[in-house]
Amino acid sequence: MLVNMKTMLLEAQKGSWAVGSFSVSNMEMVLGVLKAAEETNSPVILQIAEVRLKQSPLELIGPLMVAAAKNAKVPVAVHFDHGLTKEKIKLALDLGFTSVMFDGSHLPLEENIAKTKETVALARKYGACVEAEIGCVGGSEDGSEDIAINCTSPAQAVKFAAETQVDALAIAIGNAHGNYKETPHLRFDILSEVKASVSVPLVLHGGTGILPEEFIKCRENGIKKINIATATFDSVENTVRNAYRDNIIKGYYDLQAAEVEGAYKNAMKHIEIFDCSNKAEII
């Protein structure tokens, strides 16, 4: 069933689990993620970022994501990730996405606040919720830019959350998009300070490559939404490559099945680490 992300994150705040937010770019990935969520009875978030629309136009993938969520046996939120333009954010809302992110992390604080407030005002008209980012997560969602990590200032997080009234706040604690060059070690000192000073559910971007024990520490300390993109794409690619190597793919439909399997395996692994199995009923 299609649900609002806020409902999930507020429930997750009552425990020590987090919701996986999986980036998808085709039907096979949607099917693989939902198969894992249904098998484990987990709430889940399907998302796509604005930079990915070159490959997967929003007018096509958006209705697919919303329809898949409505059909699912578990609660599914449909989220527009790293929204950059008002035009695409509005399109996502028109298509029925239940949340949108405005990413003004590269802007000066006051401008980020002002533009985020505009997004909140727009989303409220649709009954949708909003995520925004304070500080700057490293890398870029599609790997095209090598953006430096700028860790979140807890004082700025307090001001940002109070002035914008966002429903979810992405913070930078040493995390970056894409595959890390070295194993990342997150700044739990910053996470604790932010968690102690704001009540809004926190979001961790750049989930690919974070150690399981660090994910666990995150979900126990206020991170309630964890974004996974590269790991899904890598898992789909590797599963397809191995299936060809092992002569499992005899035709197109076997290729499609291998893609679904790749997205499913990756989602299963993360759902277990995030401890969101069997949380579907409480949403």
CA angle at 48 for the pair 42 and 53, rounded to the nearest 5°: 160
When asked if residue 135 is in the footprint of ligand 13P (CB under 6 A), the reply is no
Per CB under 6 A, which region of 84-92, 118-126, 181-189, 221-229 contacts ligand 13P?
221-229
Q: Which helix (H) or strand (E) holds 277?
A: none
Which of 206, 215, 222, 260 touches ligand 13P by CB under 6 A?
206
Total residues binding ligand 13P (CB under 6 A): 16
Burial code of 151-185, b = ≥16 C-beta within 10 A, e = fewer? bbbbeebbebbeebebbbbbbbbbbbbbebeeebe
Give exposure, 195-230, as e/b (b: 16+ Cβ within 10 Å). Answer: beebebbbbbbbbbbbeeebbbbbbebbbbbbbbbb
Using an 8 Å Cβ cutoff, are 101 and 107 in contact? no
Of 152 and 208, CB closest to ligand 13P: 208
Element (H, E) at 156: helix 154-164
Tokens coding 86: 């008002």
Between the two ends of the chain, the Cα-to-Cα distance in Å is 11
81 is catalytic: yes
Q: Could you say whether residue 219 binds ligand 13P (CB under 6 A)?
A: no
Stretch near ligand 13P under the rule CB under 6 A, chosen from 67-75, 105-113, 185-193, 199-207: 199-207
With CB under 6 A as the contact rule, the residue among 76, 229, 243, 273 that binds ligand 13P is 229
**116 lies in the site for ligand 13P, by CB under 6 A:** no
Vertex 211: Cα angle to 208 and 217 (nearest 5) = 110
Binding mask 80-109 for ligand 13P (x = CB under 6 A): -xx---------------------------
With binding defined as CB under 6 A, does residue 205 bind ligand 13P? yes
Pick 42 or 235: Cβ nearer ligand 13P: 235
The pair of structure tokens assigned to 176 is 């970056």
Q: Which of 2, 33, 49, 130 lies at the binding interface for ligand 13P (CB under 6 A)?
A: 49
Tokens standing for 282?
């409480």
Our CA angle for 36, 39, 42, nearest 5°, is 75
CB of 81 vs ligand 13P, minimal distance in Å:
5
- Whichever of 26 and 41 has its CB closer to ligand 13P, that residue is 26
Smallest distance from ligand 13P to CB 249, Å: 26
CB-facing half-sphere around the CA of 251: CA atoms within 13 A: 1
Determine if 231 is a binding residue for ligand 13P (CB under 6 A): yes
Q: At its nearest, how many Å lie between ligand 13P and the CB of residue 196? A: 24
49 in Cβ contact with 61 (< 8 Å) = no
Q: How far is CA 72 from CA 67, 170, 276, in A?
A: 9, 27, 16
Shortest CB 141 distance to ligand 13P, Å: 5
Stretch that binds ligand 13P, among 27-35, 106-114, 228-236, 248-256 (CB under 6 A): 228-236
Q: Which residues are catalytic?
A: 81
Site for ligand 13P, rule CB under 6 A: 23, 49, 81-82, 141, 177-178, 205-208, 227-231
